[in-house]
Amino acid sequence: MNIGIYNRWLATMGGGEKMSLSAAEHLSRAHQVTVISHTPVKVETLSQRLNLDLSNVRFNFVPDEPRSLLEEITADYDIFINASHMDIPPTRAQRNVMLVYFPAQIYLDLPAKLRAHVGMMLRKLLFVPTFADGFYGAEIVDGRQLRRTHQSMCIELPHSRSGLTVKFNLSAEQPGIGHATVYADGEPVEKVTLRSDGAPTPCTIKLNGKGLRASTITIKCPPPATTDRFCMALSDFQIEHPRYRFYQWLFEEKLKEWGLRLHGVPEQLSTTRIENLARYHTIWAISEFTRTWVRRYWRRDSEILTPPVDVEAFAPASDGKRNMILNVGRFFAGSHNKKHLEMVAAFKHMVDGGLRNWELHLAGNLTPEPMHTEYLDQVKRAAQGYPVVLHVNAPFGELQRLYGEAAIYWHASGYGEDESREPIKSEHFGITTVEAMAAGCAPVVIAKGGQPEIVQHGRNGFLWQSLAELQSFTLKLIHDPALRERLAAAALADSKRYDKSHFQTRLDQLVRKLIT
C-alpha cells in the first residue's frame, strides 16, 4: 500500500515526531511510506537523533500553505495518517487516520468561543500578519527567524486606514533567481534585485489604506532551475506601526507563550475543523487520558496506540543505585512547564526537615531564548545551597547514566493546574516515566494525565496529588529500601509493555482493522 504520514512539527524532533517516524519506520518494511512536512530536515539527522532506521522512508517537504495543496497530495495515498499535533487537515485518501496526542477542542463551549473571538480581534488590532500561501515552516537561523518559500508567497495583513510600511529581507535560495516582484493587493509595486551569493536584500513596501479589506503582499520570482529545492527566503519581517511594535514587545518578548497562542487562533471557528474531522475513518489516541478527551472534545471514539519507548536502552547501573531522585523534562517557561520550581521546593522542605545524603537531579533540554533561560536561572537560584544538580542539554549517554543511577523518579507536570478546565497541561502519556521504570527507578508521579495508566499506586510506584504526598511517599521509599526495590522491580517488568515490539504489533493490528 501507499501510505502517507503528515507531521507539521517534524523539525522539532519531539516525542510526537518520534512516534510518527517510528510508525513510518515499521510500515516502510512492507509498504511504500512517505512522510510529509513543511520545514525540511536531513534524514540523517532524524535517524541519528531519534535512533530510527528511515532508509526505506520517503520525505516530501511542501509549502505550509495553501491547505488545498496538502489535500491534493493526500489523494495519492491508500492510507493517510495525520500525526500532526493540534492539526486537522483536509484529506482525500481512501482511508484516513488521526493519530492524536491530545485533541484540539472543536465543539466550542461559550468560554472557548469568547477566547477565540478575543484572539481574532487582537490579531487584527495589533496587525499580526498571516504567512499564507507558499511558505515553509519558520526556522531560526543564526538567531533570526527565517521562512523559506515557494516560487510565489502571500502575506496577509489586517487593514489600516492610514496605510502600512512593511520591511523584510529577501534572498535567493537557488542560482539563477536574480529578481523578485512584490505585489500589494494585486498591483506590482517593486522589483527586487537579489544577490547572486544568497545574501539578504532589504525591502521596504508602503501599503495605502483602501477600503476595509486586509492588505495582501504577494512576492513572486521566475521559475526555479529545479523544483526539489526552495526558491527564496524571507527574514526579519517588520511592520512599521505602533500597534505592531507593541505586539512585538508584549507577545514576542514578555509573554511569548501567549504570543504562540495568538498565532494559533484560527481565522474561522470550528466549522471547518468539524468538516475536516468527518473525513477521518478512525482515530488513534496515545492513552486512555487522551481517549477520554477525544470523546469530550470531538464526540468520537478512538483506538489506543501507546507510543514506543526504547526501554532496551535503559537499565539499572551495574554498581547499584545511588541516593538520588531524578526528573527528566525540558526547561521552559509558561504554565505548561515541567514544574521544576515546585519539585525543588518540595525537596528543599525534605532537606530542611532532616533528610541527609540524598540528591535531586533535574535533566532536560533548553531552548536558547530569553524567557526560557530566565526560567532556568530561577530554578538555579531556588536550588542554590541545596544538593540539587541540574543537567542542561545532557547528551543521551548521560541520561542513560542518570536513569541507571537514580533510585527514585519524580514527575510533576500538571501540578497546580485545573485538569477539568485545561487538561492539555497534564502529561498526555509519560515517556520519561516509562524510561525511568525501565532503568529500575521507583516512580513517584503525579496522579494526573496519562501517569495513572502507567503507574499503579502501591504496586509499581506511588501516585501523589499534593506536594505533601510527594514528600511523604518519597520518604517512605527512602526509609524502606526493601519496599523501594520491590516497586522498582515491578516497574522495570511493566515497562516492557511499552517497548517497540508491542508498538509494532498494535500498529499492525490497527492497520489491518482499517483496511478490512
The pLDDT score that the predictor gives to residue 112 is 66
The pLDDT score that the predictor gives to residue 230 is 75
Residue 140 β-bridge partners: 145
The pLDDT score that the predictor gives to residue 185 is 80
Distance of alpha carbon 5 from alpha carbon 33, whole angstroms: 7
- Decide the pairing of beta strands 2-6 and 79-82: parallel
Q: Is there a contact between 274 and 300 (Cβ–Cβ < 8 Å)? A: no
For residue 66, say if its preceding peptide bond is cis, omega within 30 degrees of 0: yes
Of 291, 268, 271, 269, residue with least CA distance to 98? 291
Which residue is it, cell 486512555? 288
Q: Which domains does the chain have, with CATH numbers?
A: 2-106+270-308+502-515 (3.40.50.2000), 128-240 (2.60.120.260), 311-498 (3.40.50.2000)
The pLDDT score that the predictor gives to residue 270 is 56
What does each of the 516 residues of the chain score in pLDDT, given as a tens digit?
999 999 988 887 878 899 999 999 999 999 999 999 988 888 998 998 888 999 999 999 988 766 778 899 999 999 999 999 888 999 999 999 999 999 988 876 677 677 777 777 777 777 788 887 777 766 767 667 788 887 888 888 877 777 788 999 999 988 889 999 999 888 888 899 999 888 899 999 887 755 445 578 899 998 877 655 678 899 988 888 888 888 877 776 666 556 555 555 554 445 678 889 999 999 999 999 999 999 999 999 999 999 999 999 999 999 999 999 999 998 987 767 899 999 999 999 999 999 999 999 999 988 776 778 889 999 999 999 999 999 998 988 999 999 999 999 999 999 998 888 889 889 999 999 999 999 999 999 999 999 999 999 999 999 999 999 999 999 999 999 999 999 999 999 999 999 999 999 999 999 999 998
Q: What is the DSSP letter of 306?
A: P
Angle at 377 between CA 345 and CA 387, to 5 degrees: 45
| Start-to-end Cα distance in the chain | 13
The HSE-up count of residue 256 (CA atoms within 13 Å, CB side) is 14
SS3 437: helix
Amino acid identity, residue 154?
Answer: C
- Decide the pairing of beta strands 152-157 and 215-220: antiparallel
Instruction: Give the containing element (helix H, strand E) for 349.
Output: helix 340-352
Q: Is there a contact between 307 and 289 (Cβ–Cβ < 8 Å)? A: no
The pLDDT score that the predictor gives to residue 11 is 80
- Decide the pairing of beta strands 324-328 and 303-304: unpaired
